[in-house]
Amino acid sequence: MHMMLRRSGMADLVDLVIEDARWEALDMDKLAEKAAGATLKIAGISSGYEICVMACDDARITELNGEFREKPTATNVLSWPAFDLSPDVEGGLPTAPPPAESLGDIAIAYETCAREAAEKGITMQAHVLHLIVHGCLHLLGYDHETDKDATLMEELEVKALASMGVDDPY
C-alpha cells in the first residue's frame, strides 16, 4: 500500500493522506484544498482550521464503514467531525466550530468515486470536489437525515460547487 502525507505550507487547510496511488493522477492535494476552502467560505467559517482527507480505496473504506458505522460495505465518502455542531432544530444552522486546529477527518474511496462519476457522466474531478464538499459540510454539523436538513445541505453544496465552476449535481 502506498501512503504519503502531503503538506506544502502552514497556511494549508487540508492534510492529505494518500493510501492509493491512483489518486496521484488527479492532483488530489489541489482538489481537496479547493473543495475545503470553498465549503468553509460558503458556510461563513473563517480560516485557521485543518481538515484531514484520506484518499483510499474501497477495501479500506469498507473497513472504516464497518468499524465506525457497522455497515461493512464500500461507500463514497465518510467523515468524522471533531465537534458535534448539529443544530437543535430540524433545518436549523449548526453551531459555529470553536477555535481549534482540526475540524475532523474525511475518507474518500477511489473505486466507488470513479464508478459514480462514470454513472453520472461527469468528470472524476467534479465528483471528488462534490464529495469533499459534502464531507466538509458534515464536519461543520450539516446533515441530510431529514428533508429540511437535506435541503439546507444540498443548497450549500450547490453554492460551493458553483463557486468552483462545477454544475449542480442534483
pLDDT category of residue 46 using cuts at 50, 70 and 90? confident
pLDDT value, residue 10: 40
Does the pLDDT at position 170 exceed 80? yes
- Picking from 47, 169, 46, 37, the residue whose alpha carbon sits closest to that of residue 116 is 169
18-21 own/partner pairs: CB under 8 Å, 24+ apart:
18/55, 19/54, 19/55, 19/56, 19/57, 19/60, 20/55, 20/56, 20/57, 20/60, 20/110
DSSP 9: -
Radius of gyration of the chain (CA): 15
How many structural domains does the chain have?
Answer: 1
Residue 170 within a domain: no
Average pLDDT estimate for 22-40: 95
CATH of the domain at 92: 3.40.390.30
Residue 76 within a domain: yes
What angle, rounded to 10 degrees, do the helices at 124-139 and 110-120 form? 120
pLDDT category of residue 124 using cuts at 50, 70 and 90? very high
Dihedrals phi, psi of 6, to nearest 5 degrees: -115, 135
**What pTM was estimated for this model as a whole?**
0.92
List the domain range (segments joined by +) for residue 79. Answer: 4-163
pLDDT category of residue 101 using cuts at 50, 70 and 90? confident
Average pLDDT estimate for 57-83: 96
Residue 115 within a domain: yes
Average pLDDT estimate for 28-39: 96
Residue 169 within a domain: no
Coil vs helix vs strand at 4? strand
